[in-house]
Amino acid sequence: MHFSACLVIVSTLMLAACATPERAGHGQGGTEDTWHPVTLPGKRVTEYTPEIKAGRHAVRAWADASSSLWRRKMDVPAHGLGEVTWSWWVDGPVAGADLADADLSDAAAQVMFAFDGDHSGLSQRNRMMFELARTVTGEAPPYATLVYVWANKAPVGSIIVGPRTDRIRRIVLDSGVQGVRNWREHRRNLAADFERAFGEAPGRLIGIAMMTDADNTRSKAQAWYGPIELVK
């Protein structure tokens, strides 16, 4: 496997948590880590900074041919999963991006939920990629990652299976220019969406992350993320 392809795999597998620190995971009774940036091997860094955007507290993400995460580790048992609420604002979708194409897989806004599970049931290909990620980063990838995304052109409601591994699946909530430069509010049922995307019940939630990336298209992207709140 070419090294550049390996970097893409590692980038997409390294998920665990993010957003506005004082709100996400509040009231869940799980163990919570501090918020911190996660850089990815061989990638320029997307900048994440707290700001007031259109009257609300937010985290601004600025990507310039870059890809990195702002994350927080969590520990919420499957039976404790409920709904999640957040809002996001983008200046516009990433021109030329295509989440189904590994070489063009960028997005202006993504909110990611990482889940634990039985790794013994993974395919040999996925086990090899997971081991590669562990070797390069020193961190075990999650069993499965559910991603909500603002896509460039994919239909709203569609599910996009990760082009490098099927353990990452994206649900398109916003697409194209519809709704840009405005706060878009979302409320989702995590367990129901996980079952719809993966065809199985979720395991323990081990992290949440935000990610704005424009490295594959060598372009720029800007987004703001409002507080992410887990609702029991």
Question: Rounded to an integer, what distance in angstroms lies between the CA atom of residue 209 and that of residue 192?
Answer: 19
Identify whether the C-beta of residue 94 lies closer than 8 Å to the C-beta of residue 214: yes
Question: Rounded to an integer, what distance in angstroms lies between the CA atom of residue 198 and that of residue 172?
Answer: 15
pLDDT less than 70: residues of the chain: 1-32
Token code pair at residue 197: 């995307």
Neighbours of 185 (CB within 10 A): 10
Read off the pTM: 0.87
Q: What is the pLDDT of residues 105-135, one digit of tens each?
A: 999 999 999 999 998 888 888 888 888 878 8
With both helix axes pointing from N to C terminus, report the angle between 3-13 and 124-137 in degrees, rounded to the nearest 10.
90
Structural fold of domain 3-231 = Jelly Rolls (2.60.120)
What are the domain boundaries of the chain? Answer: 3-231
Identify whether the C-beta of residue 23 lies closer than 8 Å to the C-beta of residue 143: no
Question: Rounded to an integer, what distance in angstroms lies between the CA atom of residue 138 and that of residue 159?
Answer: 30
